[in-house]
Structure 1
C-alpha cells in the first residue's frame, strides 16, 4: 500500500511548490465518508441497472490498483508550468 504521495510543481511565475501527503492518516480521516459512499454506490448500481453483486469484484480491482501504485511517477509539463507526482 502506498505510504507517501509527493507532489512537486513549478508555477508559471517560477515559484516551486512541494506537497507531501501521507496516505494512511488521510485514509483514516476520510474513512467516515465510507458510510455515505456505500448507499451512494448502491443507488448508482440501481440507476445504471448494474447488479450489486458485482460491487465486491469492483472493490477488489480498486484494491489491486491501489497496491500496485508504489513506485509510480507521473510528470506533466505545459509551457512554464510543471507537475510531478510520485507515489512511495
Structure 2
C-alpha cells in the first residue's frame, strides 16, 4: 500500500510539542514536474554505475511500498523528533 500521510512531531526543550502532517499525494502531484527531470537523470546514473534501470526502478518501488508503518524517533537531549509514515 502506498503511504498517504507523513507525520512529523517535535518536542522542544521547553516541553511544548509541535506536529506537522504532510499528505503524500498532494505533495507528489505538486512535485511531479520534477519527475520529468529525475527520470532521465536516474537513467544516466544507472548507465554510469553499470546497473539495470529496471532493477533500480523495482528496488525503488519496493522501498516505497514498504514505508507505511515506519516510525523514526530521535532523542537528543531535551529535544525529540518522531517521524511516522502511514
Q: Alignment length, in residue pairs?
A: 85
1:72 aligns with 2:70: yes
**Unaligned 5+ residue runs, structure 2?**
none
Matched ranges for 1:50-69 at <5 A: 50-51=50-51, 54-69=52-67
Which residue is 1:26 aligned to? 27
Q: Please give the secondary structure, in 1, of the residue aligned with 2:15.
A: coil
* Cα distance in 2, alignment partners of residues 18 and 55 from structure 1: 37
Which residue is 1:35 aligned to? 36
* Cα distance in 2, alignment partners of residues 61 and 71 from structure 1: 18
Residue 43 of structure 1 deviates from its aligned partner by 3.5
1:2 aligns with 2:23: no
Which residue is 1:86 aligned to? 84
Q: Report the CA distance shift for 1:73/1:16 in structure 2 as closer, same or farther (over 3 A).
A: same
